[in-house]
Every structure is written in C-alpha cells, then in structure tokens.
Amino acid sequence: MNKRNIIIFIIIALIILILQLVLYFSVTNKEESTLPDSNIPLQTKTVDELTISLRNAN
C-alpha cells in the first residue's frame, strides 16, 4: 500500500467512527442514561468539621 491509500483508509475509518457516534447519541434517550433518584433515607452528621452521609441509618 502506498501513502495515498493509507491516508484514504484513515479518512474513511474516521468518517465511519464519527457517523457511528452521531447515530448513537441521536438515538439514545437521555432519560434512560441518567441515574434514577435514590429513595434511600439519608442522614448527615458533622463531626470535627467533617460531614458524614449515612444511608439506611436507623
């Protein structure tokens, strides 16, 4: 392969990669990709100027 064929191959590969990324982000629903809100009760406590978050604390 000469230099011109290698450059053409790289350009085609980049175009395919960019096309796949555009299609992925245009089809993917943003609501599905976000994390759901947790329903776990949260308690915070400050000890010696450090804040500690406790989940499922009774």
What would the pLDDT profile of 11-36 be if each residue is shown by its tens digit?
A: 999 999 999 999 988 887 666 666 76
Instruction: Supply the range of the domain harboring residue 8.
Output: 1-31
Measured CA angle at 54 (ends 56, 32), to 5 deg: 70
In a domain, residue 17? The reply is yes
Would you give the distance in Å from CA 9 to the centre of its chain?
Answer: 29
Tally of domains in the chain: 1
Please, what sign has the CA dihedral across residues 45, 49, 51, 52?
negative
Residue 5 CA to residue 11 CA, distance in Å, equals 10
Indicate whether 45 belongs to any domain: no
Q: Tell me the C-alpha distance between 26 and 56, whole Å.
A: 38
For the residues 45-50, what does the mean pLDDT come to? Answer: 85
Note if the pTM is more than 0.75.
no
